[in-house]
């Protein structure tokens, strides 16, 4: 079945550590996205990528980095510069052709700073 796989489901980060969240899709979608979800704030866009080797900052990119070396993969690194990284992180994808198509989301990674 086609879908988006996020791993790990839970992740713990120590202060000053960089951690990487994995996102893989087998939907042959061109575009991929990372959102952050905090209680009471809704979903906010971190980064998005429309094609391989290209990505754009979203509303809250500071302290995060991404890469898009393969169409199927869009990993997110939470760096030590992100001062409040505890949140639920969601990866999504959509076709890049035609605005009429919807988004597909993964099951999320919960990141906690310890």
Partner 1 sequence: KQEVTQIPAALSVPEGENLVLNCSFTDSAIYNLQWFRQDPGKGLTSLLLIQSSQREQTSGRLNASLDKSSGRSTLYIAASQPGDSATYLCAVREGGAGSYQLTFGKGTKLSVIP
Positions that interact with partner 1 (CB under 8 A): 6, 31, 33, 40-43, 45, 48, 50, 58, 88, 90, 92, 94, 99-108, 110
- Find the shortest distance in angstroms from Cβ 50 to partner 1: 6
- Residues comprising the chain, all counted: 114
Distance separating alpha carbons of residues 45 and 61, to the nearest angstrom: 8
- Find the shortest distance in angstroms from Cβ 41 to partner 1: 7
> CB-wise, 6 or 82, nearer to partner 1?
6
> CB-wise, 80 or 105, nearer to partner 1?
105
- Find the shortest distance in angstroms from Cβ 107 to partner 1: 4
- Find the shortest distance in angstroms from Cβ 40 to partner 1: 7
> CB-wise, 41 or 84, nearer to partner 1?
41
Question: What sign results for the dihedral spanned by CA atoms 97, 98, 101, 106?
Answer: positive
> CB-wise, 75 or 108, nearer to partner 1?
108
- Report the 3 state secondary structure along 52-101: CCEEEECCCCCCEEECCCECCECCEEECCCCCCCCEEEEEEEECCCCCCC
Measured CA to CA in angstroms, residue 19 lies from 46, 57, 59, 63 at distances of 15, 19, 20, 11
């Amino acid at each position: 079945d086609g879908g988006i796989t996020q791993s790990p489901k839970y992740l713990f980060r120590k202060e000053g550590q960089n951690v990487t969240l994995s996102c893989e899709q087998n939907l042959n979608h061109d575009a991929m996205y990372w959102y952050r979800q905090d209680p009471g704030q809704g979903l906010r866009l971190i980064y998005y990528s429309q094609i391989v080797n290209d990505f754009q900052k979203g509303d809250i990119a500071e302290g995060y980095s991404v890469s898009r070396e393969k169409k199927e993969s869009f990993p997110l690194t939470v760096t030590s510069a992100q001062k409040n990284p505890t949140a639920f992180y969601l990866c999504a994808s959509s076709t890049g052709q035609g605005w009429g198509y919807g988004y597909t989301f993964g099951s999320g990674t919960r990141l906690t700073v310890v």
